[in-house]
Chains A and B, each alone.
Chain A
Amino acid sequence: MNRFAVAQVESPDQAVELMESKRFVSPVYKAGGLDLLDHLKEGLIEPGLLVDIRTLAGCADPIHQAEDGTLRISANATLADIARSPLMHEHAPVIAQAAHSAASPQIRNVATIAGNLLQRPRCWYYRQQQFDCLKKGGHQCFAPDGENKYHAVFGGGPCHMIHPSSLAPALSVCNAHIHVTGSGRESIPITELFHAPDQGLRSEHNLSPVEIITHITFDPVPHSAFCAVHEKQAFDWPLAMAAAALVIESGTIRSARICAGAVAPIPWPLPKVEDALRDLRIDDDGELDKACSLAADRGEPLSQNAYKLKLLPVAIRRAVQRAIARNAEAPQ
C-alpha cells in the first residue's frame, strides 16, 4: 500500500470538500474498505487520502420499515446485518438471501450494501497490475483471447467483465431507489445506477466522484428469492446469479421481475423471461421451465464460458421456484 492519510468526516459537506480539495492526491471514499484495500494492496490506486464515510449521519441507521410499508436500508448496513434482518426475510427475502450468499462471514461482517453495489469488477486482468487492460486505460480487453471462463456472456464488450455485486440484481427486481448526497440530486433508480462498458470504461456506475450513497429504499416484495450457483460450496465468486420477484394472485403469476448477475458487465435484466412468466400458473412446471429457458437467449459466450448459458436458466428457475414457495429457507 502507498502511504495515505485518513479523514473521519461527520457531514457530507466535509466529505465533498475533502474530495474536491487539492490538499491530497486522488482522495477516495472508504466505508467497509474491503474492495479498497484490495486495490491499495495491488497498487491499482494510490490515493493520498481516504475519506471515511462510515460515521456520516443518516448512513448508519439500522434497517427499517416506514409506516407506509417502504423498506429502507442504510448505506452502511453490513451484509451480515441484512442477511439476518427479520424485516428483510419477511418482506424482501431476495435481499436477505442475496446478502447471505455473498462472500464469507468475515467479509459480510464488514462489507456494506453500498460498497457491494460499487465494488469494482473481479476480472483477473483488471485486478492484476501488470495487465494494462481497457479498464485501466490500456488498448485491449485480454478476455476474448485469454482465460475467460469467468467472464461475461452478455453485453458484447468491449470490456468483458462481469458485474460482481449480488445485491445489484436483487435490488433491481425490487425496483429500488438509490438515495445519494453530495451533488444536489437526491435519488436515482437502481436501473440507472450502472452503465455498460461502451458508455464508459473507467467506472461501472453513474455516480459522480463526490456523490455518496446514503440509503436505499424499495417496496416490499414478499414473493421474491435469490439463487447463486457457485463452483464450490465454500467462499467463492458465483458463476451465475438470479433474482426473482413475483406478484402472485390466485395461484397465477400476474407479473415478474427477473434479473441476472455474474453474466454481464451490469446487472442483466431479462424482460423476455418476465413476459413469458406472466399469467403462468405457479404449479405449471413445464411452462415455468420453458419461460426460464429464455434466459439464455442472445447470449454471446467467449471461448471458455458457454457453460454459463446452461447454468443461468437453472439459476433463474430455482429463484422463481423459491419465490413461489415464499417461505423457502435462505440458501446456505
Chain B
Amino acid sequence: MPDEHPDSSCDDQKRTDAAVGALSRRRFMQTVGLSSAAALADRARAAAVADDTGAPPILGPGAVDIALHVNGATVKVKAEPATTLLEVLRMHLGLTGSKEICGRGACGGCSVLVDGKLVYSCMMLAVDAISAKITTIEGLAEGDALDPIQESFIRHDALQCGYCTPGFVMASTALLGENPRPSLDEIKAGLSGNSCRCGSHSNIFNAVLDASGQAPIHDGEGA
C-alpha cells in the first residue's frame, strides 16, 4: 500500500499496548479514563475545518480528534481520516482481540459490534464510528466472568489455532442478539461472514446451539 501513515506503525502499537495494557478490561478502563456521554457531542467536529460560508466541515487529511464509545467507555484518539476502525482499536487503544487477517472484509477476524450490528472493522473508517457504541471481544466478559457464548466456545473446543475465534464469538453474539434460538441453518447463515474451511466449524455450531439452550448436534454432523 502506498503512503502508509505513521499511525499504523509497530512502534505506535507498542506504545499504546504499554499505555492501555494487554487484555484486561479493567486496566483498559482505568488507563484511558471514563468520560461522560456528553463528551460525544463535541467529538471529531472540534477538529473539523469549517469556514463561515456554510460549507460542510472537512476532516483531515491530517490527524483529527476522534471520540469513540468502546466497551462502555468514551475514548479519544488522534488519527487521520484514512484510518480504519480496526487500526484505532488495535494500534491506538491496544484492543488487539480483533484481528486483521485478510484486511478486505472477507474473513471476519475483525468483526465487532457497532450500535449492536455486526461489522467488519477493517472495512469501516474510524470517523464513521464516531458517536456509535462499539463492542469488541474485550467488552464481552464482566471482570473475570466470561460471557456465556465464550464459555460455550471453551466447552465445545470450538477453535483450532484460535486466530479467527474473536470474530466468530462476536458474530455469534450478534446472531443470538437478533435470534435467541437459531436453527442450525440460521447459525450457518449468521456465521457465514466468518466461515472458512476449518475443522472446528462443527464445534462452533455446537457452541452456538448450546449457548442458545439447544442440544448440540452429533460431532461432525454439521460441518
Contact = CB atoms under 8 A, between A and B. Distances in A.
A and B interact physically: yes
Contacts of B2: 2, 43, 46
Contact of B171 (A2, A103, A105, A332): A105
Interface stretch (A8-16, A58-66, A112-120): A8-16
Interface string A75-114: 0000010000000000000000000000111110110000
A227 interface: no
Contact of B61 (A14, A41, A48): A48
5 contacts: A1-B3, A7-B58, A33-B128, A50-B81, A110-B120
A38 B1 CA distance: 12
A8 B188 contact: no
Contact of B127 (A6, A40, A43, A48): A6
A105 B193 contact: yes
A110 B193 contact: no
Nearest to A11: B56
B119 A109 contact: yes
Contacts of B1: 1, 41, 43
Contact of B123 (A33, A49, A52): A33
B181 interface: no
Interface string B179-211: 000000110111111111000000000000000
A332 B123 contact: no
B116 to A, nearest CB: 10
B125 A106 contact: no
The 3 residue pairs across chains A and B that have the minimum distance between CB atoms: A104-B193, A234-B195, A234-B192
Nearest to A14: B56
Contact of A41 (B55, B104, B118): B104
B133 interface: no
Interface of B is mostly: loop
Contacts of A43: 1-2
B166 to A, nearest CB: 14
A4 interface: yes
> Which has the most chain A C-beta neighbours within 10 Å: B1, B84, B111, B123?
B123
Contact of B58 (A1, A6, A40): A6
Interface string B102-142: 01111010010000011110011101100000000000000
A106 B108 contact: yes
A7 B59 contact: yes
Given A37-B125, A46-B2, A50-B81, A104 B61 contact: no
B118 A105 contact: yes
B220 interface: no
Given A1-B1, A2-B82, A34-B105, A14 B185 contact: no
Nearest to B57: A8
A233 interface: yes
Interface size range of chain A in the complex: 35 or more
B178 to A, nearest CB: 9
A105 B111 CA distance: 10
Contact of A3 (B82, B174, B190, B196): B82
A235 B81 contact: no
> Which has the most chain B C-beta neighbours within 10 Å: A18, A40, A332?
A332
Given A3-B80, A7-B56, A105 B192 contact: yes
> Which has the most chain A C-beta neighbours within 10 Å: B84, B118, B171, B196?
B118
Contacts of A2: 2-3, 82
B72 interface: no
B33 interface: no
Contacts of B125: 6, 33, 37
A107 B193 contact: yes
Contacts of B194: 104
Interface in B26-66: 55-61
A233 B196 CA distance: 10
Interface in A228-255: 233-235
Contact of B186 (A4, A50, A106, A332): A332
Given A6-B59, A18-B56, A105-B189, 12 more contacts: A3-B80, A4-B81, A5-B81, A7-B56, A8-B56, A34-B123, A37-B105, A104-B194, A105-B192, A106-B108, A106-B171, A234-B191
